[in-house]
Chains A and B, each alone.
Chain A
Amino acid sequence: MTSAPFAVLGLYSKAEKIIDAATKIRQRKLGHLEAYTPYPVHGLDHAIGLGPSKLGKLVMVMGLLGTGLALLFEGWTSAVDYPVITGGKPLFSWQAFVPVMFEVTVLFATFTAGLAMLFLFNKLPFFGHPVLHSKAIKDITRDKLALSIEQSGAALDIEAARNALLENGAETVEVVELPAWPRLTLVSLLRSMAAIVAACVVAGVGIYSIQKLLPVVLPMVHMHDQPKLNAFRSSTFFADGRGMQPAVAGTVARGHLPPAFSKPEEAGQILANPVALTKQVADRGHKVFNDHCAVCHGTVGDGVALLSRAYGAKPGNFMTAEMQKQPDGYIYGVLMLGKNAMPSYAADLDESDRWAVVHYIRILQRSQNAKDEDLK
């Protein structure tokens, strides 16, 4: 690979001289004119023919975009997506949104100013620029001012450029070559793709092994680890490991009097419903029935429900003539003792709930076999 001349650099020490030289050389149109200085030299940008920077306009646009986005976002979260009244203020309380709007404006504007300046306008980072590989760069970032005549389109006339710089007071002159660029080949492409794949694999395996192998120290777990009852876990509160303790021998909890019968039929003979039917009792019965009974007996009590079909079992159908004839006490007795596959509900329902369910079953029976006078 052969290298080609990129530019001719002339070094100066005084700001007046380089500005003067730049003004004169610019008229001779020997190539693209650029200067490299350790600090901004006022007037040099004008002398090499640069106009004012357009950065300000971009920053203005992005800053206003930040203001608008912040207002929209605050308004949308506070008034639309998560409307919660705080402090009696309206949902879209724009006055309270101003501080965040201001901060977001500044954030957008400053990051535009900084990043657009570096990356968009100045096209940095760029480590391969020929001037960075010149001998003069050590002086340029230290104390020398360099005027550079650079190739643009046509090949650079090195001799003319060198003479122009020397005539205009350059202390030393250096020809800067284009560095040998690395070429894009299939091998280099495959190599970089392999590097990306390798990086992904290393990152993935690394994260996996960190999570798996390193012990995780849980901070502040005292609230989590306190003695307490957990569902389906044994508890340390009592010696038998149970959370709920059985009743003390010889005591009876309210609403849980043991039955005075051993068969539902017996209950049907000795018990009558002691609870008067009111709207409240009917509603309670409705709820308890739907919570506990409907899953097998069906919401209308006809014995057809999702679960019964899935199991292939035959739960009682309350609509048969036989069931309609059974006394209240019989249904109460089945609730207490269970029947066939049905377990006892003595522990789940207290006495008033059981009688409420009995009332509700009667209501269902009447509603499913309604007579004309029921409609009046």
Chain B
Amino acid sequence: MKPATAPVPDVATSMPEGLKPFVLLEGAVTPASLDDQVLKFPAQRPPRAWYVAIAFTLSLLAIGLVSIGYTLYYGIGMWGNNRPVAWGFGIINFVFWVGIGHAGTLISAILFLFRARWRNAIARFSEAMTIFAVMCAAIFPVLHTGRPWFGYWLFPYPNERALWVNFRSPLVWDVFAVSTYFSVSLMFWYLGLVPDFASLRDRTEEGWRKRIYTVLSLGWRGATSHWLHYDKAYLLLAGLATGLVISVHSVVSFDFAVSLVPGWHMTIFPPYFVAGAIFAGFAMVVMALVVVRKTMNLSNLITDDHLDVMNRLILAMSCIMGYAYFMEGGTAWYSANPYIQHTFKNYVTGFYGWAGITTITCNIIIPQLFWFRRVRRSIPAMIFIAVAVTLGMWMERFVIIIISLHQDYLPSSWHNYIPTKIDFGVLVGSFGLFFTLVLLFARVMPVIATSEMKASLPGAQAHHGGTTL
């Protein structure tokens, strides 16, 4: 935003609606007003709606815990997995949740490198969602090992059996990719929070809350000699996390692509998975942000234009997904391989054909509504599309895993897969865990990165300034 004295060219007012610069702040926002608006929540009693919401998510979580209890006590046979569908809900949900996380890192790292200022207001929230999503994701493969209390066997460590993990297996790459992703996301998130914890510390009255914020802020005092290294570290982390986020879902896709199962053994899998992950993640972020900006009165910081930009990204990703699906069909046709062709036909016509049709409808057709500006800015419309995309992306993983596995090379080993109640229970529980953590986060931590926002408020910097896209 230009200083008030600068003459505004006439051309700006006569521009078509779509070419106008984005409004990323509504009304007057100063550093002090920003703090008062964003950092007041921890000191307040949450509204009744918050208690209702957390009671609901905790009940979902309880369902999940009971289902996990069944799984632990009676064993993995409580799940619907069978031969040949050895990867059932466990892996579907794992891929789904890891994918949800990717939007957060895209917003916090890749858009940071691109200097897309609109990310500042939503970065913190989506980073938090990344961490919670990866936590949800980790539940599934660990349970799927059958004996989760031996989960540490996944890591290479010197042991009395003189065994090492097989570094030529994509499953081991996955262990490294997901655990690195989680620790790096946590580090990134915490670094961003340190200056905000300092602000919270200094505005909180004496008491146990202040003590917690004091410890969490590590005694941050905002010294310029500290900001120097802090900025450098943040930039480096953004660059490293960019490569990481692309590698993580690529490695997840290697679990499939490196095998010989028809429908999995394709070179398009890594980019296809990364695009799908960002697609699903953005839908989840939009869904959550719509609720947060409404209930926490943050509409002046997270404006309609923020949602508009996010919806454009969802549309772009939807088109990439459409291309990927088309490409899969092209591969099946051009390979002249009857097994791959059979699998591809199964996607839309077989026992599970409804899943493939749902996937295509929710992921490719419905998001096309975002071509219309009115749809991109309408809250009910975007909630509908975001829910559709979430459902569609979950279904896509169902299609990839179940349909490819249930009928592969040998017709004598074909078998249908029916998930059990326990399968659904663990899935519901993971949603409960995710939204419980989101609600707790919104309650006790700054949902908007205030120090980052302050740095880009109009007039905050000496030589350049203003919030533009």
Task: Give the interface of A toward B (CB within 8 A).
Answer: 14-16, 19, 34-45, 48, 50, 52-53, 55-56, 59, 63, 73-74, 77-78, 81-82, 84, 86-87, 89, 93, 96-97, 99-100, 102-104, 106-107, 109-111, 113-114, 116-118, 121-122, 124-129, 131-132, 137-138, 140-143, 219-220, 222
Contact = CB atoms under 8 A, between A and B. Distances in A.
B233 A113 contact: yes
Contact of A81 (B164, B173, B190, B461): B164
Contact of B187 (A42, A87, A111, A128): A111
Interface in B191-228: 191, 194-195, 198-199, 201-203, 214-215, 218-228
Interface of B: 30-32, 35, 72-75, 147, 149, 156, 162-170, 172-173, 176-177, 180, 183-184, 187-188, 190-191, 194-195, 198-199, 201-203, 214-215, 218-233, 236-237, 240-241, 243-244, 247, 251, 254, 451-452, 454-455, 459-464
Contacts of B156: 73, 77
A56 B239 CA distance: 12
15 contacts: A35-B224, A39-B227, A42-B462, A42-B464, A44-B224, A45-B224, A73-B156, A74-B167, A86-B169, A103-B176, A110-B236, A122-B230, A132-B221, A141-B220, A143-B31
Contacts of A56: 232, 236
B223 A36 contact: yes
A97 B156 CA distance: 14
Contacts of B30: 143
A244 B31 CA distance: 85
A141 B227 contact: no
Contacts, number: 226
A124 B229 CA distance: 12
B112 to A, nearest CB: 14
A102 B224 contact: no
B195 A38 contact: yes
Contact of A53 (B31, B232, B461): B232
A256 B238 CA distance: 80
A77 B184 contact: no
Contact of B222 (A53, A86, A140): A140
A101 to B, nearest CB: 9
B31 A100 contact: no
B203 A142 contact: yes
Residue among B240, B251, B452 with most chain A CB within 10 A: B240
A107 B173 CA distance: 14
Nearest to B216: A125
B184 A106 contact: yes
Nearest to B244: A106
Nearest to A60: B236
A77 B167 contact: yes
A117 B233 contact: yes
A39 B220 contact: no
B191 A35 contact: no
Contacts of B220: 124, 141
A142 B199 contact: yes
A109 B165 CA distance: 24
B262 to A, nearest CB: 19
A39 B236 contact: no
Residue among B190, B224, B243 with most chain A CB within 10 A: B224
